[in-house]
Structure 1
């Protein structure tokens, strides 16, 4: 759970083995609202964990544009599970 912290990236605290999945599956709050709230707290770039999978959340349109145009070779094979979320493991 310290993966992002060791890299200087902020993010919500998680639970061992679940990461942030518990907070993301709140039946009273859609995932989009959870991510929006975290963006307000942690900024336009922050790290979460979906179970054991580490995910970098990027909410800055210009940064996303740069990732997929100027730095395409580094990001072209990233998985997208929710709009705006790419996994660090490809």
Structure 2
């Protein structure tokens, strides 16, 4: 494997492990395993503020674990891949 490919792979693994190393983000992933939800729905279900939930979702999004899809004025978040359930 080429050095740059290894560096990229290790960087991606680090992003993912940092993203899931937080109990709040793990809870958000658990909620998204059940069904796609809006930031507001996730905030309510996890007893976090909308702002805090949004920040956690951005970390999960940067790690490639979730994606947001705009539906009108609302963004609905879902897992990027069902294999994430195995986490």
TM-score by structure 2 length?
0.29
TM-score by structure 1 length?
0.29
Q: Which has the higher contact order (CA 8 A, sep 6+)?
A: 2
- Relative to its length, the structure with more helix (as a share) is 2
